[in-house]
């Protein structure tokens, strides 16, 4: 897919080229597709030509929680729920 943006040329110069801007917009679009779950993280890394850890840094800067960190959070919450429920199981059956 190709997008065309109508942006005045005078906004760009040697310090910030239209090519650099286009690359940044593409990066943002790919990361946004990860956020809305239209792309997997490994696909995004491949599309951007970066290592997985680099993608994770970009995602975190954009406020997106990488999959493994989300799984760790869920695992921790589940562990806490299981631990807090163990004491209640014996008490509720005794009543």
**pLDDT at residue 37 in the model:** 92
> What's the Rg (C-alpha) of the chain?
22
Residue 61, sorted as left (phi over 0), alpha (psi -120 to 50) or beta, turns out to be alpha
Residue, of 86 and 42, whose pLDDT is higher: 42
Q: Which of 24-28, 38-42, 55-59, 86-90 has the lowest mean pLDDT?
A: 86-90
- Name which of 17, 50, 55 is nearest 33 in CA terms: 55
Per residue in 38-82, pLDDT (tens digit) is 999 999 999 999 999 999 999 999 999 887 777 777 877 888 888
Report helix, strand or coil for 1.
coil
**pLDDT at residue 92 in the model:** 54
Q: Answer yes or no: pTM beyond 0.75.
A: no
């Amino acid at each position: 897919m190709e997008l065309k943006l109508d942006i005045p040329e005078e906004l760009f110069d040697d310090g910030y080229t239209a090519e650099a801007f286009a690359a940044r917009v593409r990066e943002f679009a790919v990361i946004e597709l990860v956020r809305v779950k239209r792309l997997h993280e490994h696909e995004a890394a491949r599309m951007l030509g970066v290592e997985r850890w680099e993608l994770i840094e970009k995602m975190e800067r954009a406020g997106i929680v990488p999959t493994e960190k989300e799984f760790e959070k869920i695992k921790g919450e589940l562990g806490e729920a299981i631990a807090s429920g163990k004491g209640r199981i014996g008490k509720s059956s005794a009543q």
